[in-house]
C-alpha cells in the first residue's frame, strides 16, 4: 500500500486545500463535509501557500520555480510568473492592500530578491539583498505587521559543502519600495518565520538543516536592532 503524506493545509468555505509530499506531488481540494476530492492537479509545493478572501491562492511551484495564482474553488490557474530556474520561496504574504510578497533565491549567486506583486500578477517592486561572495542565501517566510512592515530572516551557506556560515539576519523591509529599514545579525542558521506579539515584540528562532546545533530563540522590539 502506498502511503501519501500531506503538508499543512488551508481551508476556505467547505474546501480543504492540501498537497502531498510523497507519492507524487499533487495539490488537492477536499470537501470537508464528504471527504471527496473536488479537484486535483500536479503541483510541487512545500504547503505554505495563502488564500485571499476572494478565493485566489498563491504559492511558488518549487519544481518549475513558477509563482502562481490559482482559483481555490476550481483549481484553474489565473496567472503565473516564471523565476526562470531560480528557486522561489513557496511562502507568500499578503499585505492589507492586497500586495503579494515572496522571495527568490538564485542558484550560485550571492544574493536573494524580495518581490512585491500586485494582485493581477504585475510586479510592484523588487529588492535584491547581497550576501557574502561565494555563498547562497536561504530566506524564511515573510511576516507583515499591523503597519505593513515586512520581516524576514535569512541564512547564509556554502552550496558546494552545505556549510552554514552563521551569518543569519533578520530584516525589516519598507512595503512601499523594498528598502531595508533595519537589519539585525542573529548569527544563527536556518531562520524560522518571524512571529510578532500583540505588544510588537518580534520573535525568531534558528534550526539546523543537516546537523545538530544549539537552538536559539530571539525576542526583540522593532527599535532594538
Ordered by start, the domain boundaries in the chain are: 1-90, 91-225
Are the folds of 1-90 and 91-225 the same? Answer: no
Tell me the per-residue pLDDT of 172-214, one tens digit each, with 9 for 90 and over: 999 999 999 998 887 665 567 888 888 888 888 766 555 455 5
Predicted TM-score (pTM) of this structure: 0.81
Q: What percent of the chain has pLDDT over 90?
A: 25
Give dist(CA 20, CA 60) in Å, integer: 15
**Where is average pLDDT lowest: 73-77, 79-83, 104-108, 149-153?**
104-108
Helix H or strand E encompassing 74 = none
Domain topology for 1-90: Thrombin, subunit H (2.40.10)
Residue with the larger pLDDT of the pair 57 and 209 = 57
Q: Identify whether the C-beta of residue 131 lies closer than 8 Å to the C-beta of residue 112.
A: yes
Q: Which of 130, 137, 127, 82 is nearest to 106 (CA)?
A: 137
Q: What is the dihedral of CA 87, 187, 150, 69, to 10 degrees?
A: 20
pLDDT of residue 106: 64
pLDDT of residue 176: 95
pLDDT of residue 16: 83
CATH 2.130.10.10 fits 91-225, yes or no: no
Amino acid at each position: 500500500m502506498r502511503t501519501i503524506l500531506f503538508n499543512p493545509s488551508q481551508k476556505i468555505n467547505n474546501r480543504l486545500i492540501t498537497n502531498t509530499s510523497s507519492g507524487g506531488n499533487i495539490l488537492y481540494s477536499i470537501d470537508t463535509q464528504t471527504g471527496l476530492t473536488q479537484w486535483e492537479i500536479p503541483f510541487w509545493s512545500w504547503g505554505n501557500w495563502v488564500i485571499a478572501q476572494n478565493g485566489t491562492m498563491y504559492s511558488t511551484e518549487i519544481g518549475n520555480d513558477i509563482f502562481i495564482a490559482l482559483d481555490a474553488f476550481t483549481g484553474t490557474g489565473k496567472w503565473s510568473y516564471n523565476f526562470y530556474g531560480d528557486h522561489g520561496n513557496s511562502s507568500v504574504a499578503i499585505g492589507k492592500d492586497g500586495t503579494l510578497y515572496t522571495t527568490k533565491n538564485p542558484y550560485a549567486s550571492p544574493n536573494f530578491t524580495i518581490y512585491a506583486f500586485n494582485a493581477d500578477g504585475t510586479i510592484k517592486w523588487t529588492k535584491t539583498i547581497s550576501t557574502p561572495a561565494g555563498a547562497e542565501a536561504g530566506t524564511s517566510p515573510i511576516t507583515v505587521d499591523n503597519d505593513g512592515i515586512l520581516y524576514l530572516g535569512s541564512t547564509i551557506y556554502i552550496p558546494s559543502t552545505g556549510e552554514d556560515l552563521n551569518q543569519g539576519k533578520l530584516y525589516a523591509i519598507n512595503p512601499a519600495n523594498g528598502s531595508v529599514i533595519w537589519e539585525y545579525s542573529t548569527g544563527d542558521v536556518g531562520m524560522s518565520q518571524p512571529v510578532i506579539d500583540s505588544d510588537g515584540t518580534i520573535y525568531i528562532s534558528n534550526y539546523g538543516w543537516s546537523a545538530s546545533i544549539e537552538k536559539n530563540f530571539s525576542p526583540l522590539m522593532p527599535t532594538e536592532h
